[in-house]
Amino acid sequence: MPFQMGWHKENCIVKVLVCGDITLNDANNLNRALVEYLDCVQQPVHVLFDATQVNSFPTSHLQIKNTLTCMDHAQLGWIAFIDDGAAANPLLPIVSQLLGDKFRAFPHLKAGLEFLKSQDSMWMGAVMVNRQFANAQPSGSFPQRA
């Protein structure tokens, strides 16, 4: 199988590993699998897309756009595209054009994951609540009982 997919953080971040020579049929299968993840949640899901092991991928922008319908899914959050720069990755310019503002490329998984964590409201909400309680000061006095 030219790709593996699973939750990195349940209902929050999907990790996708793509490797080898990817055909249009493989891209279609990847799309269907990712849509299944996106369909089962109520909030945006981010994708950690590791393409460091891709050798080749269909390069027709129109074919990719028509195949990767998940790029228009309402629940798609950010895509962190991992490309170590060892070779010119054929996917990088295509996915970048399709996603625009929802796309960032990173040289390694750790940087991509840190970015997604910083964009995720569930993580950020927990961090903000913890900071608020850690720095909380009494805000007045309690009424005295008679």
At 95-126, the pLDDT tens digits run 777 777 788 889 999 999 999 988 876 544 43
Those residues whose C-beta lies under 8 Å from the C-beta of residue 75, and which sit 6 or more positions away, are: 38, 39, 41, 42, 43, 44, 45
Distance CA 128, CA 134 (A): 10
- Residues shown for the chain: 146
Q: Is 79 helix (H, G, I), strand (E, B) or coil?
A: strand
**Does residue 10 fall inside a structural domain?**
yes
- Find the CATH number of the domain harbouring 10: 3.30.750.24
**Does residue 140 fall inside a structural domain?**
no
**Does residue 146 fall inside a structural domain?**
no
Domain carrying residue 112: 3-134
Helices (H), the chain: 24-39, 61-67, 91-99, 109-119, 121-134
The alpha-carbon radius of gyration of the chain (Å, integer) is 20
C-alpha pair distances (Å), 70 with each of 32, 37, 64, 66: 8, 10, 11, 10
Strand order in the sheet with 45-56: 3-9, 13-21, 45-56, 76-82, 103-106
Distance CA 7, CA 14 (A): 4
Mean pLDDT over residues 42-66, rounded?
Answer: 87
**Does residue 13 fall inside a structural domain?**
yes
**Does residue 71 fall inside a structural domain?**
yes
**Does residue 9 fall inside a structural domain?**
yes
Give per-residue pLDDT as tens, 11-29: 999 999 999 898 999 999 9
| Total domain count, the chain | 1
pLDDT of residue 49: 92
**Does residue 141 fall inside a structural domain?**
no
Given pLDDT bands bounded at 50, 70 and 90, which one contains residue 90?
Answer: low
